[in-house]
Structure 1
């Protein structure tokens, strides 16, 4: 089974559940991405000392992108409209949630790079 087939089955809800399963999956993945992005931002600002902010930022971006892709795929494969029980509203909500995770991850990555640049040795200080 190819990756495209796996994503299509996941977006359609797979063999289990109703039409909302794919949207709920996209919502869950997007929410996990937002949480990872928030933790990465907290690591960069020094509020949380455990972990690597760069790894968290890249993870948030990847998970957010996966959630957005699942939501878009669910919207493309679902039939009917909002209120029909196919999870279209959930997929519409999952798209900005996944994009928020990507933005938070990008922001944490930029801040971690700036922090690495600023923590280098000071030139001309004689130390």
Structure 2
């Protein structure tokens, strides 16, 4: 699979995960109704996951674009942005996962924290590959 298709594959995987989670969400009992919606424990991990997702997109773009279409300096800057976004996702996601009190579905943001860590690792790998490629072609 080409790296150019990576953002579409990540989006499809995320949509498939949401589609599979829908039947489980239909079985929510009345007792756990307080944990639905955007709780204060979910805001931080959600924003961290969005930062890491932006790093994945930017890293994929930096890796997919050829040096003839954009300058190698631009690719290098995009690679560094992807690396920084990935590092933020891994570190902040790990801290938020370590401090979350409950498991999935409790409203403490453990799922968003793990998503931020996974997307952060993907962003780090893509940014690193793009940085190596930009240094090699310079």
Report the TM-score, using the length of structure 2 for normalisation: 0.65
Deviations 1:20-42 (A, max 9, x none): 01110111110111111012113
Distance 1:80 1:52 in 2: 42
Q: Provide runs of 4+ in structure 1 moved above 3 Å.
A: none
- The question of whether the paired residues in 2 share the 8 Å contact of 1:42 and 1:48 is answered with no
How many residue pairs get aligned? The number is 100
Q: Indicate the SS of the match to 2:40.
A: coil
Q: Which residue does the alignment assign to 2:80? A: 58
Equivalences for 1:1-127 in 2 at 5 Å?
18-43=40-65, 45-46=66-67, 48-49=69-70, 52-116=74-138
Query: How far apart, in 2, do the equivalents of 1:47 and 1:25 lie?
Result: 34
TM-score, reference length from structure 1: 0.71
CA distance in 2, matches of 1:89, 1:67: 13
Which of these two proteins has the greater Rg computed from alpha carbons? 1
* More helix as a share of residues: 2
Contiguous gaps of at least 5 residues in structure 1: 1-16, 117-127
Secondary structure of 1:52's counterpart equals: helix
Computed over aligned residues only, the root mean square deviation of the Cα atoms, in angstroms, reads: 2.0
Structure 2 stretches lacking a partner, 5+ long:
1-38
